[in-house]
Amino acid sequence: MAGKFELKATKNGKWVFNLKSGNGQIILTSEIYESKQSALNGIESVRKNAAEDNRYDRRKSKNDEPYFVLKAANHQIIGNSEMYSSSQAMENGINSVKNNGPSAELNDLT
């Protein structure tokens, strides 16, 4: 089963998307966008940048939990992962974004 992007409006009229793996798990959550078109541009940016390992910034939370952010070529953050239990689990998440992001279909929930 292929991954998909889910695009939705927030309660305050802004826009956000999630990239879900084939099993339905959220593997990347976008920043908040002011307009639907900006969010759609963000999805295209994920598609374009997901396969490139140097676009992933591997980080640790204040609680020492690994997570990652995906950045565009201009170093703007496109999306964030969940917190992971281990560095290996985080790397699995990155691989899932690499595999699902470039070809995931859009599911517009608006």
Each residue's pLDDT expressed in tens, for the chain with a length of 110 residues: 689 999 999 999 999 999 999 999 999 999 999 999 999 999 999 999 999 999 999 999 999 999 999 999 999 999 999 999 999 999 999 999 999 999 999 999 87
80 three-state secondary structure:
strand
Token pair 């917190």 is found at 83
What local confidence, expressed as pLDDT, does residue 67 receive? 98
Q: What is the CATH number of the domain that holds 11?
A: 2.30.29.80
Number of domains the chain is built from: 1
Confidence (pTM): 0.93
User: What is the span of the domain harbouring residue 56?
Assistant: 4-108
Residue-level pLDDT at 110: 79
Q: Work out whether the CA dihedral 8, 37, 106, 78 comes out positive or negative.
A: negative
